[in-house]
Homo-oligomer: A and B are copies of this chain.
Amino acid sequence: MQVSKTLDYAVRSLTYMGNDPVLRHSMKEISEHQNIPLSYLAKIMRRLVKKGLVRSMVGPDGGYVLRKTPGEIKLRDVYEAIEGEIRMVDCMDKDNICVLYDNCAQLPVWDKVQMSMIKILDDTTLQDMLNEGASMSTRPN
């Protein structure tokens, strides 16, 4: 029930790019500025490209650019690009056929948690985070 490092990397990369939404940013640049292992960043960027959040250009002076404005990119999009569909609980999946209906006592609660999280991630754009980040960056640590 924690934010994964990978997701953190992704968000950091995107907010970083969001500061100059027009420029192209190379992996090397992002990696250095955000302190993310280059080789791992490559994997992450791949997912963001596939999900249509960023566009990539190869060759010298290549790199990545946001495909939308920071105001149009929802945190939910980022989350789902990295983690897949948001889902708090695995049930009736795979081989688990949830014979115990006791089990279902929990489902409504986790659904509730899930929905409230989705709502927040849906309502938060990169732009929002950039704004907040600015105000946060004045506080110590």
Contact = CB atoms under 8 A, between A and B. Distances in A.
Copies in the complex: 2
A83 to B, nearest CB: 7
Interface residues on A, range: 35 or more
A50 interface: no
Interface string A84-101: 001111101000011111
Chain A residues touching B, majority SS: helix
Contacts of A62: none
A129 B141 contact: no
A100 B35 contact: yes
Interface stretch (A20-28, A41-49, A51-59, A104-112): A104-112
Contacts of A92: 141
28 contacts: A1-B2, A1-B3, A1-B83, A2-B89, A3-B88, A8-B103, A8-B106, A12-B103, A15-B102, A15-B105, A34-B102, A35-B99, A101-B133, A101-B136, A102-B133, A104-B133, A104-B137, A105-B130, A108-B129, A108-B132, A109-B121, A109-B128, A109-B129, A109-B132, A112-B120, A113-B120, A113-B121, A116-B120
